[in-house]
A and B are shown apart, each in its own frame.
Chain A
């Protein structure tokens, strides 16, 4: 892999950029691999990268039915934070956040991780109480978090309607300064390029159509490009996890719902931090291109169609304009939908399955993007060692049988 830097950019400018090498190869699939990762999104590609980097396992294929990062990696609102309530979550997401902090350099690909801070607003006494609890727990877990009063919030986000007469008065907020946003496509591309450089085969336009098994042992996958054998198959197919599981005869405790997001037309910078309000369902940031990026809610029905209802957009617009009155004359430029796989406790499943050699990483619900590097890191460990990393041990599938749930319904702004 030829390194990217200001110097390589200048050097290539001299030859009119004719000599850049491809970010990744497009290899022919081999008949057998040590590990097959199903799903070429951020989590799958990160898993491949860390398998090679941390465990020296490079005879790996990443199979993607469409284009890299075409699922939820390319459809989310790019928020990264680790201010989770429960110890298990805080540790997992903080692990991820720490990886984010060096990711551009590690991958030699600028993923534009921008630690511009994440604000969670409180609008009533109950919100404040919850905020207090959360911040208190997060701090004792060694993670940065603080509580701002309304004056401090106003100073940080002057365009926010902090009037006490507002329908949603702002009583305070929690702030994680290390939180922020990243360039979502770049995350997929950066991991793909770095994984490819370590010898991993990334195969696009290759859909898995079946999982072949012998009793309780996995043998490989049937694909649109033929059968590929592997003693270990890892599925990371957010939005389609249950479909893949069904191929192996498994049933996951997952519901799949449409989740929408939208961007405004680009405008000059007016919002310098991420603002979230769980109570009235707003989460908004401004991209480096100038677009406001807004997350909408999930549609109540289950679906695999990557689109949602207009009514959901109308609802979040009402809350958003109430909180940010100057947004009223800005315009929605594009809206889109993705499918989120939601577990009953709103926490993911990362680990082994009853079928030997078959692993699942799924159920991230509405908040998987922030976990991309951490998820890949612990999942790679799980696959390489055939046992979970201590950080993902609590996220085993069998918790739904034994009841050791990690209920994070309060964690996301998205109403579940």
Chain B
């Protein structure tokens, strides 16, 4: 095992008492608790960690945070394997296994690197210009392209982890726990406001963790510790670490993903892996910090070339120096501070190259005092080193910065620390629709006008000094709390934090090279290999909008979403177009800030919990008696009850025959049931249903059809008048919720004057339907106080009484065409009722039947099923249900029925079909033609909506919607199927007991 040669002997926020072993690309290394994978790799002297997307160039660690474009690894194995993780954010744990991605056969020798050699032929958008000949070959080209693309690999197993969600409210949500965020949380928390402070890092402190700043004359981290301790004591403050606020939606609704267990070698059983927090905040303080920009110079992508701030973080926070000979290349002061920190930590800096002409001031003097060679007004024009940077070439910049001149200086190095200035992390602010303003001094966008209840503080708001960050933090926290209704007890003053006077940066988007116009690569987007030349090419070809440049070159479309490259890319574009940078605008900031696992977004709503499974009170009986179930919406319904050795057809035939000749029993509990009450209930029904309801007497039932406003049937069912202002409506199983919503929508939005109230009672009633000539006998045998005589309890009526000792509403309505009683009892009695009826029915041959037999029974009678005989394009007239359409009153859809198209006589109409061969059962959904043509296309005149074998008739039957169907009775038509044509005769849609004597007896 390696000995961490680049680990400093002391310092850092790692726990040296807890060494961790880890495996990277098959080799074992060690690091410490508190390391990130990237820090541990650097401590072991490893810079080469990945390959780029397009050219497969060797790439190293560039950053120390979320903006990392290069150091992406596949982490873990098996069900816990995860692609595309940023090594800069993976906390080290014992036994961690990581592998480089997008390289084959190995990271050091990657055949894909041939693309780099061919780069000249693969400019931005090359694929739009070729791969078109021969036309049929694209799928082959694409196959090869797809294999080259992609980064990591998806796991091959089901995720073994669990994810949770929480929905919370707070007064002030503070995003980011750097100096500004901590100050804001303190100020808000002290007022007693409910504060949530969320930070993506392991510990609070933000940039202070990586530097040597002082606050109030003491190390800044002391202040962080005090602030954190104070917040910890606040009863109303919730502190979230490892928690990234990734989305800022409307109405101050923000989403946070908390990585609860990702850093654990052995996650516990009780804790979820990640938790999605959905926060509705009265006020939001964004203290999201800033991201350092790279400098865009030639071959700025070699391993060992990293951001100055990142090098500083590795040295300071993780006690790992990136190298032994460091060259710094900068356009601003922050890299000087980084250099000083590196030197202090023990990482020698040899040369500092500044784009600015004459580096002066405290910082420059301090750097020089350490013996560092400071070269002003110059730039790196080339770098060397394949798997690790070995040296740089430096030349003087021309005064306008567009070219270089003079002799070339060579400097050996093993690390280049670059700094192109800082970009405020305005992502969330922009997601919230806040507007941005351009800060030309610092070459970046800063928040301008908030669109929601948002406050911004710290460097993300253009506070370039620590003192200003603290001041803004306290101000924003106080303001946010006050806006949320909390007043500060004592004005919180920001502590002093002196810093050297700053010299403004010099913005130079593309650093010139002496080999311009050749194949030299100045990378703007590291991950997607987008160069300055690509952006220039895009502009040359007319792709000049920032969005076109992005989409044509793929700049900013990688997993880092352009956190490093977007502003430099804009800068380069503004140079090419000779346009003001702010006039170009930015690409849209979209959630998520950093990628979020599907698992976290899913939470527990998967598999059985994805959608509730609903079962009736009689379900256990069905299971015990061998029912085969069918999914109907969320419900499990018995499809049929096969006996041992019985086929589905045999079982269904038996069930149908029992209902026709003796008695069957159906679990009808799933039927939608809506209780409707109020003086205007009857008015509502009159408007909703096509038929009239005013004359319906109490305890009487009536079948009704509902139409959408376009005149098409959307539901049907039987509604019963329980009392003058009280109705019991039934709907189809699948539409129950929709119908209630439909009624509510009309009542709430269009007819608020109606005094009518609705409630779903679907699950309050269990329903057993007895159907068949012996139904009355069974009901009597079960014991009832109801008078079942046909005159006392006629068809289409309802009686309340006791059945088998249970309180019941019994509806005498029939969906089978047989004498039927729908016995409704309170849901808790459902099982008992069912068993009582089965027992009482045994002497009469009672047979439970499922939905399939129910379908056959109703089809024999020509009764429709909404969603089967109708599909949103069928009117009541098409169904031959003219008698149900009132001519005297108004109802929803009536006007639509008067439109010319709905009045056509050649609309598709419901008919019955009889096949020539009585044993031929047509497939449902089959299309119908007048005459089969040898080849399609052929004109279709309708389709089979329902089709069964009818044991009652001893032959197959079908229902169909056919153009002008009612006028075609007796006509022979064709149903073209695969390999054969079935001849059918158009018939009445009712095949059995046309006068309805059986149900009414």
Contact = CB atoms under 8 A, between A and B. Distances in A.
Interface of A: 4-6, 8-10, 13, 16-18, 20-26, 66-68, 70, 74, 87, 102, 104-105, 108-110, 112-116, 123-126, 129-137, 139-142, 159, 166-169, 183, 185-186, 189-190, 204, 264-270, 280, 286, 288-290, 307, 309-310, 313-315, 317-322, 325-336, 344-345, 399, 401-405, 407, 409-410
Nearest to B519: A16
A278 to B, nearest CB: 13
Interface SS majority for chain B: loop
A335 B592 contact: yes
A269 B81 CA distance: 16
Nearest to A64: B545
Interface string B74-85: 000000111110
Interface in B912-943: 923-927, 929, 935-938, 940, 943
Contacts of B597: 328-332
A132 B599 contact: no
A66 B546 CA distance: 11
A336 B590 CA distance: 6
Contacts of B557: 289
A265 B129 contact: no
A332 B595 contact: yes
A328 B591 contact: no
Contacts of B250: 307, 309
Given A136-B925, A310-B278, A335-B590, A20 B81 contact: no
Interface string B648-685: 00000000000000000000000000000000000000
Interface stretch (B387-395, B615-623, B789-797, B893-901): B893-901
Contacts of A24: 542
Closest 3 pairs between A and B when the two form their complex, measured CB to CB: A290-B150, A133-B925, A403-B899
Interface residues of B, number: 110
Nearest to B608: A167
A330 B83 contact: yes
Contact of A331 (B132, B598, B613): B598
Contacts of A66: 545
Contacts of A141: 936-937, 940
Contact of A112 (B53, B127, B541, B595): B127
B710 A405 contact: yes
A198 to B, nearest CB: 16
B139 A115 contact: yes
B601 A405 contact: no
A288 B138 CA distance: 12
Interface in B375-406: none
Contacts of A329: 80-82, 154-155, 159, 161, 597-599
B551 A110 contact: no
Contact of B873 (A167, A280, A407): A407
Contacts of B155: 326, 328-329
A266 B590 contact: no
Given A139-B936, A288-B149, 7 more contacts: A13-B121, A124-B630, A140-B940, A189-B543, A267-B151, A335-B591, A402-B901
B132 A332 contact: no
Contact of B154 (A9, A133, A267): A267
B925 A130 contact: yes
Contacts of A280: 610-611
A136 B606 contact: no
Contact of A402 (B599, B639, B873, B900): B900
B606 A322 contact: yes
Interface in B96-137: 120-121, 123, 126-133, 135
24 contacts: A4-B130, A10-B121, A13-B121, A17-B540, A22-B541, A66-B545, A74-B547, A110-B128, A129-B868, A133-B926, A137-B943, A142-B937, A167-B608, A189-B543, A288-B142, A309-B250, A317-B601, A318-B605, A328-B598, A329-B81, A331-B598, A402-B901, A403-B710, A407-B712
A344 to B, nearest CB: 6
B152 A136 contact: no
A267 B152 contact: yes
Nearest to B559: A265
Nearest to A94: B937
A111 B818 CA distance: 62
A26 B542 CA distance: 8
A9 B867 contact: no
A222 B529 CA distance: 43
A124 B871 contact: no
B601 A313 contact: yes
B224 interface: no
Contacts, number: 315
Contacts of A114: 138-139, 142
A306 to B, nearest CB: 8
A344 B81 CA distance: 46
A17 B123 contact: yes
B464 interface: no
Nearest to A319: B610
A328 B150 contact: no
B74 to A, nearest CB: 10
A289 B149 contact: yes
Contact of A266 (B142, B149, B591, B602): B149
B517 interface: yes
Given A189-B128, A310-B278, A330 B927 contact: no
B159 A328 contact: yes
B175 to A, nearest CB: 16
Contact of A318 (B161, B255, B542, B610): B610
Given A133-B924, A142-B936, A310 B595 contact: no
Contact of A108 (B132, B146, B161): B132
Contacts of A189: 128, 543, 552
Most buried by A among B154, B541, B602: B154
A153 B130 CA distance: 33
Contact of A20 (B249, B541, B938): B541
A26 B146 CA distance: 34
Given A16-B518, A403-B896, A9 B129 contact: yes
B769 interface: no
Given A326-B158, A331-B595, A318 B559 contact: no
Contacts of B601: 313-314, 317, 332
Given A189-B128, A268-B152, A326 B595 contact: no
Contact of B602 (A265, A328, A402): A328
B142 A407 contact: no
A66 B585 CA distance: 12
Contacts of A168: 610-611
Nearest to B924: A129
A227 to B, nearest CB: 25
Contact of B902 (A20, A186, A314, A403): A403
B863 interface: no
Contacts of A110: 127-132, 138
A289 B601 CA distance: 23
Contact of B559 (A102, A186, A266, A268): A266
B128 A186 contact: yes
A189 B681 CA distance: 58
A67 B598 contact: no
B443 interface: no
A140 to B, nearest CB: 5
A23 B146 contact: no
B253 A310 contact: yes
Given A67-B545, A110-B130, A288-B142, A136 B927 contact: yes
Interface in B56-93: 80-84
A17 B120 CA distance: 9
A67 B548 contact: yes
Contacts of B84: 265-267, 331
Contact of A22 (B82, B542, B591, B712): B542
Contacts of A109: 128-129
A328 B599 contact: yes
Given A288-B145, A330-B597, A4 B128 contact: yes
Contacts of B131: 110
